[in-house]
Structure 1
Amino acid sequence: MRPSPTRTIWQIQRDVIYALLVREMKTRFGKWRLGYAWALLEPALHIMMLAAIFNFLKRDFYPGIPTTLFMLGGIAPFLFFSHCFYKGIAAVASNRGLFNYRQLRPFDAVLSRVLLEFSIYILCMITLLVLLAWFGIRVEFGDFLLLVEVNILFFFFCFGLSLALCVAGERYPESSKILPLIVRPLYFVSGVFFSLEQIPVEYHPYLIWNPLVHVIELTREGLYANYEGKFSNFKYYIFTSIGTLTLGLLIYRAHWRDLIRSQ
């Protein structure tokens, strides 16, 4: 009988992440009657609700871009951010029993959650753009390379933030009640349903400190050829994304053993 070949550390890591991804998918969508369709319905319902309100008010947000598409460029990125925020805080508590296995660490739990949310975010964007185009709601596509760069950096940003939040959520249990309160006001000041061009210039110095504003502005610039994110700052966005990832990794590195011992 031939002995089974020894797996490399990268193969083990791949299998761990895959197993966690499958587990997360079943946990998140298995309890819903609509199943995986809910991943598409959530942003679609947000968009339809806001589009209906602003169509009723007869307001057109940006020349040449239908309101529904304009909302999609803001709601989809924000939902990805908010899901990573909530999932990051609860990453250790939700997978506590699994850390008895030597191959699995809190880092893997956070990475699998962010990967799943990122995959859902990208698939939803593509599916909704195709569906809207099928219904005749379309615009000329913008800068695809910019869109790819923005989303890679957005993944880094959300992953770094989730790593820091997983430590905070476990070390300071009160933070799991307090930190989610930050997400709600961010919804109204991150450009989800407005462009910075529509905001008086005197308020820009306060809004542009928010990295989500630059994410949404640059996403719309990449998606729509006739959208120009005049007040977005790509260099600032690179700095905040890499900085957040670095900070999250350092915080996790300093506390990961405490996360294992706390079970």
Structure 2
Amino acid sequence: MITRKGIGKNSLSQMVPTPHLGTNAQRGRSMFQYSQRQSGWTAAFSILTLIFHNTVRHLRKSHGNPLLGLANNLMQNVILVLTFYFMFSILGLKSSAIRGDFMLYIMSGIFLFICHNKSISSVFGTEGPASPMMQHAPMNTAIAIVSSALSVLYTQVLSIFVILFAYDVGWHPVTFQHPLSAFGMLLLAWFSGCSIGMVFLAVKPWFPKLTGIVSNVYTRANMITSGKMFVANQTPGYLLAMFSWNPLFHTIDQARGFTFVNYTPHHSNWQYAVYFSLTLFTLGLLGEFFTRKRVSASWSAGR
């Protein structure tokens, strides 16, 4: 029997065991957090699966039916190619083109131009770290950026192959001097566009309106500064200085050199486009990491 005299603070602490707060807190967290150890191959496969599904999601954004979305992108390429073909024919500029298939000369510039500009717009329009999609645990901005870039590459490559196949079967046989190298210039135009889009994406949360204006100005200026409407070897030196800064100018000129037997580029090199793209891609990654740690959903609340 325990008497009242024998009960004190010390005795109460000995009789009643105190709960372990750390254990209860850990049990509470385990109810809401799910953790699973994955091997390197399993983690890589799960990331690739997320990229695949998010790429499909981006492809279906423009249209619910993927075939109609592809047909829409296909018609954009065809209309732009036909527009420049008739413009060159009416103005009598066919003689200034490269000796060879004139339609292939037009397509070699238009395809890279569209791929470059679309990759900029797609990466620039990627969901930011404060978007609702990023609230899901497996999702992150890196997967969103890669998915946006791959969706553009898929639609453009498929559209180009369909157009070239139709042109080869219906009108004139298509021949490339170095087809793999010409395709590599298409990939370089796509990568350079993704690098520029990364820089715009990193700056967008800080200056959304200004970044959108600068992005539109750059894509519109590419209509002239990309060099798709003229031959670099036939351009005066004082005009080349206005275009040589643009990586798309170098990729288009090099692509024509790999396409036509009678053309050898003298005022462009693909190494510049590679170094330029890698530099901007690195700056874009650093800026996106810096912004992701500081961005908040309240930034755009008063805008």
TM-score (norm 2): 0.76
Q: Tell me how large the CA RMSD over aligned residues is.
A: 2.6
8 Å CA contact 1:110, 1:166 repeated in 2? no
When structure 1 is superposed on structure 2, of 137-146 and 40-49 the one drifting more is 137-146
Aligned partners of 2:66 and 2:60: how far apart in 1?
A: 10
- Give the C-alpha shift of residue 124 in structure 1: 2.1
- Give the C-alpha shift of residue 189 in structure 1: 1.7
* Pair 1:244-2:280 in alignment: yes
How many pairs are equivalent?
A: 259
Aligned partners of 1:66 and 1:190: how far apart in 2?
A: 20
AA partner of residue 186 (structure 1): N
8 Å CA contact 1:139, 1:224 repeated in 2? no
Select which of 243, 251, 259 maps to 1:223. Answer: 259
SS at match of 1:29: coil
Structure 2: where are the runs of 5+ without partners? 1-35, 299-303
When structure 1 is superposed on structure 2, of 168-177 and 24-33 the one drifting more is 24-33
For the structure 1 residues 54 and 156, does the alpha-carbon distance in structure 2 shift closer, same or farther, using more than 3 Å as the test? closer
Larger radius of gyration: 2
- Residues 113-153 of structure 1 show CA distances to partners (whole Å, capped at 9, x for unaligned) of 11111122222222222211112334531223422443443
1:59 is matched with which residue? 93
SS at match of 1:55: helix
- Residues 142-189 of structure 1 show CA distances to partners (whole Å, capped at 9, x for unaligned) of 223422443443343223222222222222112223431221122112
Structure 1: where are the runs of 5+ without partners? none
- Give the C-alpha shift of residue 6 in structure 1: 5.3
When structure 1 is superposed on structure 2, of 44-53 and 175-184 the one drifting more is 175-184
2:140 is matched with which residue? 105
AA partner of residue 38 (structure 1): N
For the structure 1 residues 110 and 145, does the alpha-carbon distance in structure 2 shift closer, same or farther, using more than 3 Å as the test? same
* Pair 1:47-2:81 in alignment: yes
- Give the C-alpha shift of residue 241 in structure 1: 2.1
AA partner of residue 117 (structure 1): V
AA partner of residue 200 (structure 1): P
Greater than 4 Å deviation, 4+ residue runs: 4-7
- Residues 70-111 of structure 1 show CA distances to partners (whole Å, capped at 9, x for unaligned) of 111111111111112222222126992210112111221111
8 Å CA contact 2:257, 2:264 repeated in 1? yes
8 Å CA contact 1:12, 1:103 repeated in 2? no
2:249 is matched with which residue? 213
Aligned partners of 1:133 and 1:159: how far apart in 2?
A: 30
Higher relative contact order (CA 8 A, sep 6+): 1
2:221 is matched with which residue? 185
Aligned partners of 1:39 and 1:131: how far apart in 2?
A: 15
Aligned partners of 1:34 and 1:16: how far apart in 2?
A: 24
Aligned partners of 2:150 and 2:56: how far apart in 1?
A: 11
1:86 is matched with which residue? 121
Select which of 223, 227, 230 maps to 1:194. Answer: 230
